[in-house]
Amino acid sequence: MTTELDEAAERIAVWAGGLAARAGARRVLAVEGRSGSGKTTLAERVAGRLAAPLIHMDDLYAGWDGLHQGVTELRDRVLRPLAAGRPGRWRRWDWAAGAYAEEHLVPDADWLVVEGVGAGARVLRPYTSGLVWVDSPTAVRKRRALDRDGPTYAPHWDRWARHEDAFYAAEDVRANADLIIENAGRQRS
């Protein structure tokens, strides 16, 4: 079975081949969309096709209210250094401890894929070669997110949705996307 995301990943990888590097010699692809849209699954498939390291914004957010801090972490610790020809290093947010934990070196590669809410922020666009938006109906997104993270995420769904609403109202990421992928979760034979 082939899914919509398998087909989309192939299209994105082919399209991305023509993009120019904007973070030093690195081409950075941002995969954006609301919680549960399928951006993590899509980004994993695209990263595999591009032989790219993958950074999840979930690892950068400073907790449930840390979306903007995650964007700053990505810009200051990963993208700016890469653009200057230096290694990028990011710190993983330890959700249980409520603090940043160990540091990770961004592996050398031609590509870097970053996925998650905030990956397409305005302050990151000077460093990104392409921006993909993943769209999915709210009911489908909520079901996916709660199936994936269950009781851990359920009490935070509305809180996080408010952060998404505020971020997207200010950033208008979807309107600035190079590609929009519709993901209703259908399979094809």
**Helix boundaries (H) for 53-156:** 67-73, 80-83, 138-153
User: What share of the chain has pLDDT > 90, as a percent?
Assistant: 76
Give the per-residue pLDDT at 186.
57
Beta bridge partners of 132: 31, 179
pTM recorded for the entire structure: 0.93
| Interval 46-72 mean pLDDT | 97
pLDDT (tens digit, 9 = 90+) per residue, 85-135?
Answer: 999 999 999 999 999 999 999 999 999 999 999 999 999 999 999 999 999
What is each CA distance from 27 to 44, 58, 76, 127, 136, in whole angstroms?
16, 21, 17, 8, 26
| Average pLDDT score over the chain | 92
| Interval 27-33 mean pLDDT | 97
Give the per-residue pLDDT at 149.
73
Give the per-residue pLDDT at 187.
47
Tell me: pLDDT of 185 over 80: no
Give the per-residue pLDDT at 189.
42
Give the orientation angle of helix 4-16 with respect to helix 39-50, to 10 degrees.
Answer: 50
For residue 97, what are the contacts with CB-CB under 8 A and spacing of at least 6? none
Which runs of E-coded beta strand occur in the chain?
A: 2-3, 27-32, 54-56, 89-94, 99-105, 111-115, 130-135, 179-182, 187-188
Give the per-residue pLDDT at 2.
60
What is each CA distance from 93 to 66, 77, 87, 177, in whole angstroms?
10, 14, 20, 27
Handedness of CA 143, 94, 66, 77 (dihedral sign): negative
Residue 134's closest CA among 68, 178, 73? 178
pLDDT (tens digit, 9 = 90+) per residue, 137-147?
Answer: 878 877 877 78
The tokens describing 178, both together, are: 């190079």
Owner of token pair 């094809």: 188
